[in-house]
């Protein structure tokens, strides 16, 4: 009798398990896959890339991006005003990871919030600021040689000085901050994780100058 009871019990248990398996298969067949534990090196790679990009270290970032694209690591603004604005923009950059890594068709993805100053807001009135400052210099000049060169044109050193002053004023008075969330695509290749940078990411960390 005991054998029969045991046989019936296990038969019922097997049937119940089969029913449960069918239920789970039907219930979760369209569900998104869940990543229980993201590889730590994938998260570290995402953080390292963001650290490099947000510090303006494009040379370091290039080595961690899939396909090692040329980000123009050796290029810097030539004019002093451009250098001032670019340095201020890089110093304003910051980021934070949003949630955890999640699987995609090509590997993993990590959402990142990028914070930066609004470059268009700072540059919007630079022309007017420059004009006002230049007029002030002309009015306060004690000699025309302070303003004009031998060709009766504005001295280039004066122009550069006024442009830099206008940029500094804009950074003090017109600066605003914005943020946007972008998705880092992480691809596993050659035994390590890489970030597949796209135009959205590069624009987010360059003030919209990539493209």
> What are the per-10-residue average pLDDT scores of the chain (211 residues)?
48 53 50 53 94 92 90 78 92 94 90 93 91 92 88 90 94 91 93 90 76 44
Q: What is the CA radius of gyration of the chain?
A: 29
**Total-model pTM:** 0.74
Q: CB–CB of 95/115 below 8 Å?
A: yes
pLDDT score for 30: 52
pLDDT score for 170: 94
pLDDT score for 143: 87
pLDDT score for 64: 94
Out of 3.10.450, 3.10.290, 1.20.58, 1.10.3470, select the CATH number for domain 39-122+174-211. 3.10.450
pLDDT score for 89: 92
| Spatial distance between the Cα atoms of 117 and 93, rounded to a whole number of angstroms | 7
Cα-based distances in Å from 20 to 11, 13, 16: 14, 10, 6
The phi and psi torsions of 69 (rounded to 5 degrees) equal -70, 160
| Spatial distance between the Cα atoms of 96 and 79, rounded to a whole number of angstroms | 32
pLDDT score for 77: 78
pLDDT score for 211: 44
| Spatial distance between the Cα atoms of 91 and 207, rounded to a whole number of angstroms | 12
pLDDT score for 60: 93
């Amino acid at each position: 009798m005991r054998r029969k009871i045991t046989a019936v019990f296990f038969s019922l248990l097997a049937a119940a398990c089969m029913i449960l398996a069918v239920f789970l298969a039907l219930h979760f067949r369209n569900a998104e896959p869940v990543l229980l534990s993201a590889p730590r090196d994938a998260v570290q790679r995402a953080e390292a890339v963001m650290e490099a990009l947000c510090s303006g270290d494009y040379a370091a970032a290039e080595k961690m991006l899939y396909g090692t694209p040329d980000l123009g690591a050796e290029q810097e603004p030539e004019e002093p005003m451009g250098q001032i604005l670019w340095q201020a923009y890089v110093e304003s950059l910051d980021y934070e990871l949003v949630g955890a890594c999640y699987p995609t068709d090509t590997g993993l993805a990590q959402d990142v919030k990028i914070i930066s100053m609004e470059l268009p807001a700072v540059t919007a009135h630079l022309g007017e600021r420059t004009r006002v400052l230049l007029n002030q210099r002309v009015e306060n000049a004690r000699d025309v040689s302070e303003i004009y060169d031998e060709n009766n044109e504005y001295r280039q050193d004066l122009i550069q000085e006024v442009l830099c002053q206008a940029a500094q004023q804009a950074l003090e008075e017109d600066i605003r901050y914005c943020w946007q969330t972008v998705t880092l695509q992480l691809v596993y290749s050659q035994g390590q994780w890489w970030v597949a940078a796209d135009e959205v990411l590069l624009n987010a960390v360059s003030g919209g100058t990539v493209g």
